[in-house]
């Protein structure tokens, strides 16, 4: 596979160190890695390549600053096999289209050797607001043990039992490990709705069939189905390819009886540069992390997000389209990113600021993440913080 990479800084170039490869232990695994670096890839999804991708960083004047090489990730986990007959549908046609847009570049400090803590962060207390639908915040959850194995239904139930009130929605990112069924069951027991994610466009039909099987004809507990997460920002797919996938998915889901919301999720930077992602979604879904800005202190996280929403709204075809922050939070451990300092007190301050900013509409934000993701790998590119975003600490089930 021939690879061409372009990354353009929209802000002042920060200190750069050797960036780590954009790797994943799971095909669907959500990552923050190189979230503001654009990799433009000419690709055919049916023929994955082993070729490396060369990332070129340039400063605000367009002068190359440094480069790094990223190698394809190991992808051992496949989507769960649906328990019902898949919905008949045409295969998604993927046409590679090169895209490029401006994106800020983050610094990469030396990785920390910290290990996962046993204590709960100071922000563990849940909001005291009602947990009824439409009145609570959302949170993200990944059903994997620290050794990367899949959690059982009993383990997922144990985890959800520790989550307090004040939430109305849980977001997941993929369909493997039978997670749509297990998380849906646990969510129903707490009166939560599910924001289900499809991670890989190459297996779009299969993943939709898995979701349809888990729903089993009852879509009442599904709030949203997301087609991809940060695919444009990562260079995995062009905006046009993602838009085509949204259309295909919406048709398949409607055939299966789902009439709820269908969106794609990408970073604030990628979405501002490609507003078609929102124009073709039922609402505008963006991930935005004040921590990675580097110029925002924890207690200003809420205002950072409200300003970001205002800036995004200005480029949308429908200026009144609903915008939901589908992922945001603050790490309690890791390396400092300029003004952004990981700590339990700063995590608590950030979450308090975010909740205050969305107090009138808590459904407009999904907090990342409920438990520490010890199955992930900390990297210098992520300020050695990738495992430590859990605002309740380690999951009780392992």
Dump pLDDT digits (tens) for 262-287.
999 999 999 999 999 999 999 999 99
21 vs 214, residue with greater confidence: 214
CA pair distance 108, 34, nearest whole angstrom: 10
What are residue 190's phi and psi, to 5 degrees? -110, 5
Distances (CA, A) of 366 to 54, 214, 256: 33, 23, 27
Distances (CA, A) of 60 to 66, 277, 291, 298, 306: 13, 26, 21, 26, 25
pTM (two decimals): 0.72
| Per-residue model confidence (pLDDT) at position 353 | 98
| Per-residue model confidence (pLDDT) at position 258 | 98
Distances (CA, A) of 280 to 161, 207, 249, 363: 36, 20, 12, 21
Q: Cis peptide before 231, with omega less than 30 degrees from 0?
A: no
Which class in CATH covers the domain with range 137-382? alpha beta
124 vs 309, residue with greater confidence: 309
| Per-residue model confidence (pLDDT) at position 66 | 35
Percent of the chain with pLDDT over 70: 66
3-state secondary structure of 58: strand
Percent of the chain with pLDDT over 90: 66
Radius of gyration of the chain (CA): 20
CA pair distance 288, 300, nearest whole angstrom: 13
Query: Where in the sequence numbering do the catalytic residues fall?
Result: 327
CA pair distance 270, 41, nearest whole angstrom: 15
Sort 253 into a burial class: Cβ within 10 Å, 0-12 / 13-18 / 19+.
buried
CA pair distance 298, 334, nearest whole angstrom: 14
| Per-residue model confidence (pLDDT) at position 288 | 98
Instruction: Kindly indicate the confidence band of residue 49, based on its pLDDT and cuts at 50, 70 and 90.
Output: very low
């Amino acid at each position: 596979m021939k690879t061409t990479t372009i990354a353009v800084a929209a802000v002042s170039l920060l200190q750069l160190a050797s960036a780590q490869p954009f790797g994943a232990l799971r095909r669907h695994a959500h990552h923050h890695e190189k979230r503001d670096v654009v990799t433009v890839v000419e690709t055919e999804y049916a023929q994955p390549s082993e070729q490396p991708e060369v990332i070129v960083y340039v400063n605000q004047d367009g002068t190359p600053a440094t480069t790094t090489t990223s190698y394809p990730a190991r992808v051992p986990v496949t989507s769960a096999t649906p328990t019902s007959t898949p919905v008949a549908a045409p295969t998604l046609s993927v046409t590679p289209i090169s895209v490029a847009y401006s994106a800020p570049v983050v610094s990469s400090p030396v990785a920390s050797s910290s290990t996962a803590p046993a204590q709960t962060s100071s922000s563990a207390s849940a909001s005291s607001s009602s947990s009824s639908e439409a009145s609570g915040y959302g949170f993200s959850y990944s059903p994997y043990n620290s050794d990367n194995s899949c959690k059982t239904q009993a383990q997922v139930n144990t985890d959800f039992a520790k989550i307090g009130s004040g939430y109305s929605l849980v977001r997941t990112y993929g369909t493997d490990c039978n997670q749509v069924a297990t998380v849906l069951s646990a969510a129903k027991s707490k009166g939560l709705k599910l924001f289900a994610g499809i991670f890989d466009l190459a297996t779009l039909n299969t993943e939709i069939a898995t979701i349809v099987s888990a729903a089993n004809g009852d879509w009442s507990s599904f709030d949203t189905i997301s087609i991809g997460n940060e695919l444009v920002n990562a260079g995995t797919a062009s905006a046009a390819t993602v838009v085509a996938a949204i259309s295909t998915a919406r048709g398949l889901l409607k055939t299966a009886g789902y009439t709820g919301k269908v969106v794609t999720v990408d970073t604030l930077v990628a979405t501002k540069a490609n507003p078609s992602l929102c124009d073709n979604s039922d609402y505008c879904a963006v991930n935005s992390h004040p921590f990675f800005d580097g110029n925002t202190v924890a207690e200003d996280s809420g205002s950072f997000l409200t300003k970001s929403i205002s800036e995004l709204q200005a480029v949308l075809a429908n200026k009144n389209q609903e915008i939901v922050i589908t992922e945001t939070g603050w790490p309690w451990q890791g390396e400092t990113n300029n003004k952004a300092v990981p700590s339990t007190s700063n995590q608590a301050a950030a979450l308090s600021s975010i909740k205050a900013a969305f107090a009138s509409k808590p459904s407009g934000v999904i907090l990342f993440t409920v438990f520490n993701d010890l199955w992930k790998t900390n990297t210098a590119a992520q300020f050695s913080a990738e495992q430590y975003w859990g605002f309740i600490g380690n999951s009780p089930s392992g």
